Amino acid sequence: MAGSNPATTTEYISHHLTNLVYGKLPAGYERSYNGNIELIEQPTWTLAQSADEVMAMGFWAVHVDSMLWSIGLGAIFAFLFFRAARKASTAVPSGWLNFAEMVVDFVDGTVKDTFHGRNKLIPPLALTIFVWIFLMNLMKLIPVDLVPTLLMYAGVNYQKIVPSTDPNVTLGLALGVFVLVLYYSIKIKGFGFARELAFTPFNHWAFIPLNLFMEVIGLLAKPFSLGLRLFGNMYAGEIIFILIAVMFGAMGAAGVFGGGLQVVLSGDVSQTALPMQSIALWAVGFVVVCTLCWLNLKGKLATKRMVWLVALTMLIIGGVFNLAGGIMQWGWAVFHILVITLQAFIFMVLSIVYLSLAHEDH
């Protein structure tokens, strides 16, 4: 499959797990697109049109979607917290300012409990790590087919909107933390850092080779543990979302209403007969459900009544055929709210711990 709508379950899953990649195709590569074969006569930089082209591009290729989404979410974080900082005052905070202060206080408390050195960089670094990773993980709650399908109409064949399901992003973040760990270890400990590697855990010159081997392995394991833990958890969750969408996708044949609930609850528009109508139904259902939740938060609608109205909305828009799939998607999404927050918190705490160890000069 090269950019067309996925026709089989295997193609559907492969399509959703393929990044939008920009790289260099080697000379002599036979490029197949829409049934036509084109011979690349000289090395060419281009967007990959299939998973095979991604493999042919090799290491020096850019995951455009991961890069743009992560930078965009980082900019959103910077803009929102910059506005909150500008509006901060001695008055009682409310709204977004109140929430921002809660997040800052939470992160600051975690840093004070975990970091035992003195460094003004650590609190803002921890805040950036936590919120940025949380925002990247939060993209997972957007229906799996919604953004890729809309962009496919615009000619963009591949799109992964969750940057933390890309090991390049998670390992890149971990590498940044690792560089800081090395920098502060050398800056604060100086020659003592080399001595620490050579004489820990066995404080005798005869064990220097063994000590160096164990300590270097332990040191290099830090960025891998950080990056791969985040990637593994987010990637597994993404696969489960996709599998649930595939499992109940066939029920979209029940018609516009069956396909509508499929889109409302799982975001799967690829196998419905009328994808644009399904997107419209998803939008209607999304607005209605969000309105009901907002009324509940404001205390204008009882929780029990809100739950019944949400269920009734799903039944009216989508019918009973996809209700089971929808419940699974919503249930997994609710559970994943805890997972995405916990993974951002773990990454932040481990980063603080590693930097704290780098500041300890015995």
Q: 32 vs 3, 5, 12, 170, 359, CA distance in Å?
A: 11, 16, 19, 32, 55
Residues tagged active-site? 225, 229, 233
Q: With left for phi above 0 and alpha for psi between -120 and 50, is residue 267 left, alpha or beta? A: left
Record the tokens describing residue 309, joined without a space. Answer: 């109205």
Render the burial of 25-59: b for 16+ CB within 10 Å, e for the rest: beeebebeeeeeeeebeeeeeebbbbbebbebbee
Record the tokens describing residue 30, joined without a space. Answer: 């036979």
Name the residue among 42, 6, 4 with its Cα closest to residue 26. 42
Cα dihedral 234, 235, 241, 244 sign: negative
Name the residue among 203, 227, 202, 198 with its Cα closest to residue 215. 198
DSSP assignment string, 118-153: --TTHHHHHHHHHHHHHHHHHGGGS-TTHHHHHHHH
Q: 306 vs 246, 281, 333, CA distance in Å?
A: 29, 20, 18
Q: With left for phi above 0 and alpha for psi between -120 and 50, is residue 39 left, alpha or beta? A: beta
Half-sphere exposure of 73 (CA within 13 A, CB side): 22
Please name the residues in contact with 337: beta carbons below 8 A apart, sequence gap of 6 or more: 141
Q: 122 vs 111, 128, 318, 325, CA distance in Å?
A: 8, 10, 49, 44
Q: Are the C-beta atoms of residues 46 and 9 closer than 8 Å to each other?
A: no
Count CB atoms within 10 A of the CB of residue 147: 18
